[in-house]
Structure 1
């Protein structure tokens, strides 16, 4: 087993940190899904209503 250099502490992840990372990852997935849906909706609307296109 490797020993940390002197003066450094070994960091251990506890359950709270693991849960927080899982929540952050889930939120990032939700944001990506929302962005993808908005972009698809925008693309469809610009095809259906050409006046919606940016000038």
Structure 2
């Protein structure tokens, strides 16, 4: 999947107060994570299994 085709949404763990926010985009084989204040910068790509481990740490 091309990065331009991803549908980004703000993480439910991000506050609406303009602080530190993450955006997430999912595809069948990868989860993409980026800084919402700098969407054109590099982003992190992880497997769904890694994403589940990360969420369980919160």
TM band (smaller chain): under 0.3
Rg bigger for which structure?
1
With the length of structure 1 as denominator, give the TM-score of the two structures: 0.25
Q: Which structure ranks higher in relative contact order (CA pairs < 8 Å, sequence separation ≥ 6)?
A: 2
More strand by share: 2
More helix by share: 1
